[in-house]
Homo-oligomer: A and B are copies of this chain.
Amino acid sequence: MRYAYLGPAGTFTEAALRQVVSPDEATYLPQVDVASAIEAVRDGVADFAVVAIESTVEGGVTATLDSLATGSPLVLLREVLVPVQFTLVAAPGVRLEDVRRISAHPHAWVQCRRWLARNLPHVVHVPATSNTAPAALIAAAVAERATSDLGFDAALVPPPAVGTYGLAELATDVADNPSALTRFVVVGHPGQVPAPTGTDKTTLVVHLPDNEAGALLAMLEQFAVRGVNLSRIESRPIGDALGRYSFSIDAEGHITDERMGEALMGLHRRCPYVRFLGSYPRADAIAPTVHVGTADGDFQGARSWLQRVRAGGTD
């Protein structure tokens, strides 16, 4: 199986991919960005993509959410959590006190801002296209003995990149929030939905009806009336005008759950656009709270009762 991911070697995404499948058992296909990784699946170049979807610091990953929300349908098959800790690296011989310019992906930069302000208050940010790009540049410059042309002195890179590129560590565990996590998802083609495990989540994209006061409230009630809890809800502009939003939602439970099915049908009836992005096991394996009267048996019992009563029976 071929897995597209945000490459090259040494990224956090690769760390996530390694949790999914060993490089011995699959082909790793590094891509230049998240959108390309997802498109690789759409184009048939890869069977799956592993992409970041949310981090505790930055929130939803815009490129992932938007790529999945439109275009030909793909689904999420699994999620993986990776701690967010950077290593500050440089070419051999560079000392921490000499560092003036640090190359870092903008997301990396914001996740280390306070650490940098405290430890290297005068450094300047040199933006990178990915977390590992500066690692590769350092390695190449070292090989060519041209480190003075790098344009930066050090770089914030994911820990796995240290070994991949053979870099010198100036500082490890660089992060403002030691409990920061990034959530990655495995994206694939629609097909058989993974069987429920009892600790699943379901991801959706929903547009609200135009110009309807209380539309968000009404949308949330579709879940609440069936006893479905939401673990994440994020708005994204639809892009055609200010004030029009698409909602990216994670709901607790699996599409085969009766309560989830009825809630989804309610959304389908009332909202102009609903896209099912998959039901898959939660990385934290927490089971959803099942409110009174909302277990599968309750729905099945209610359906049997309705059939009896519609047929003229009594209870």
Tell whether A242 pairs with B312 under 8 Å between CB atoms, given A213-B229, A269-B302. no
CA gap between A128 and B183 in the complex, in Å: 27
Question: How many monomers of this chain does the complex have?
Answer: 4
A residues 215-237 touching B (CB-CB < 8 Å): 216-217, 220-222, 224-226, 229-237
Chain B proximity of A70: nearest CB distance (Å): 12
Which one of A18-26, A58-66, A153-161 is at the B interface? A58-66
Contact B221 A217 (CB under 8 A): yes
* Consensus secondary structure, chain A interface: mixed
A residues 123-169 touching B (CB-CB < 8 Å): 125, 127-129
Contact A209 B264 (CB under 8 A): no
Chain B residue, CB-CB nearest to A129:
B127
12 further A-B pairs in the complex, CB-CB below 8 A; given A73-B314, A256-B310: A56-B237, A73-B315, A179-B241, A190-B314, A191-B312, A213-B229, A216-B230, A221-B225, A234-B235, A265-B299, A268-B301, A276-B309
Report the interface size for chain A: residues with CB under 8 A from the other chain: 81
Contact A179 B269 (CB under 8 A): no
